[in-house]
Amino acid sequence: MSKNLKIGLFGFGVVGQGLLDIIQSQNLNLEIIKIAIKDPRKKRTLNKDLFTTNRDEILNNSEINTIVELINDAEAAYEIVTTALKNGKNVVSANKKMIATHLKELVDLQQKHGTSLLYEGAVCGSIPIIRNLEEYYDNELFHALSGIFNGSSNYILSKIFNENQSYSSALKEAQDLGFAETDPILDVGGYDPKYKLAIATAHAYGLFINPDAILNIGIQNLSQHDIKYAREKNFKIKLVPTARKVDTKQIVTYVLPKLVAKDDFLYNVENEYNAVTVQAAFADKQFFFGKGAGGHPTGAAVLSDIAALRYDYRYEYKKYHSENGVKHTENILLEIYLRYADEDLISLLEFDDISERYAANEFKYVIGTVRLDSLIKNRDLLLDKDVFIAYTGRQIYKEEKIAAQVYEEAVL
């Protein structure tokens, strides 16, 4: 039998209003008691008595048994969520930065206080990827997770490759439509998909990774030269987060632009849509597709979590609690396309192998394999406006080759 949920809602922006639209369109066993907002002067269609600017009016209200947190401020969201869990209230959140940064602590809090935190809406909008990773895939059979996790950057890239728009024009259009912020670096710089990847990796492998340990390079330095190169090779460029098993005990993660071929599921994922590709031992590749941005798609994911709380659902984190011993590694090789201006960068990255090279006054690039830890070490140089990097999609995990290199370096 379902519980009657009395909800305290934090945030009434695009997602909060989208959630309310969905709730009002259905006959559900729940009620919004109070909504916390920042600006009380803003005109709203709902009864003003429903709103408050005092968070404690919600957190300390004994009638409210469920908190829904939909604000942008990660630090404020952390205070709200942790206080609610300690007070015995279940929580639904869509704040990917807060969750990714504090996930281990949040899991421990749930266990200690017997509460539940659900966050399907924090990763890929309307796609139900978290619950699928949590419930469907066994760790030993799960190989890889990748996709398009950010609708803003994908919208920009779609306009560039499908409509020949410039980067600046496509970015402005995304901002005008509300897909990208005034300062879009969280999206185009790969930070947003990095937080989402950290959360998904916890459920895919039982491995909690500090987002700061995940390399993220975005699309902000994309130039006409890179676009021309991709088109000549029949590729599109997509911003793709990846988590993959290197062996039974090691997981590699990164967020990089990728040269996507026509036979890749991600090739035809356009505009604000998101997609997730998973690979498992016997199921092979599976593909999830849906809108990743907007009030109603994300609101639908939030409502799914709220509905699950009516039946006391909680994530079990079985892979994490099994203590399977998986570790995060950077000791792998990736094949990349690199546009550069300064020859010194090639030396600093210490390419393992270069298979293709082109140099002209206005455009230089190489295709070659490089160690992930070298990319991380030189990340600041890779963010220079004259540099663009993209993963080719050819995955080279040669542990024996890397081990030989490490031995040689140690001997020398």
- Report the pLDDT value the prediction gives residue 198, as an integer from 0 to 100: 98
- Report the pLDDT value the prediction gives residue 147, as an integer from 0 to 100: 97
Helices (H), 310-371: 318-321, 344-349
- Report the pLDDT value the prediction gives residue 59, as an integer from 0 to 100: 97
Question: Taking residues 1-5, what's their average pLDDT?
Answer: 77
- Report the pLDDT value the prediction gives residue 236, as an integer from 0 to 100: 98
Question: Which of these ranges, 85-99, 195-209, 244-258, 285-299, has the smallest mean pLDDT?
Answer: 285-299
CA-atom Rg of the chain in angstroms: 22
- CA atoms of 6 and 31, how far apart (whole Å): 5
- At 396, the pLDDT band (50, 70, 90 cuts) reads low
User: What long-range pairs does 310-316 form, CB within 8 A, spacing at least 24?
Assistant: 310/2, 310/3, 310/5, 310/29, 310/30, 311/2, 311/3, 312/3, 312/116, 313/116, 313/118, 314/110, 314/116, 314/117, 314/118, 315/116, 315/117, 315/118, 315/130, 315/134, 315/203, 316/134
233 in active site: no
Percent of residues, the chain, with pLDDT higher than 70 = 95
Instruction: Please state whether the predicted TM-score (pTM) of the whole model is above 0.95.
Output: no
DSSP secondary structure letter of residue 388: E
Tokens of 37: 């907002």
Q: Which domains does the chain have, with CATH numbers?
A: 5-129+296-321 (3.40.50.720), 330-412 (3.30.70.240)
* pLDDT at residue 286 greater than cutoff 80: yes
Q: Are 280 and 142 in contact (CB under 8 A)?
A: yes
Q: How many CB atoms lie within 10 A of CB 203?
A: 25
| Active-site residue, selected from the candidate residues 196, 245, 291, 364 | 196
- At 260, the pLDDT band (50, 70, 90 cuts) reads very high
Report CA-CA distances (Å) from 74 to 52, 90, 96, 102. 20, 18, 8, 10
Tokens of 251: 């997981």
pLDDT in tens, 132-146: 999 888 766 889 999
Question: Taking residues 72-98, what's their average pLDDT?
Answer: 96
pLDDT in tens, 25-62: 887 788 899 999 988 888 888 888 899 999 999 999 99
- Report the pLDDT value the prediction gives residue 395, as an integer from 0 to 100: 63
- CA atoms of 40 and 51, how far apart (whole Å): 8
- CA atoms of 275 and 296, how far apart (whole Å): 17
Closest listed residue to residue 191, CA positions, set 99, 98, 255: 255
pLDDT in tens, 225-236: 999 999 999 999
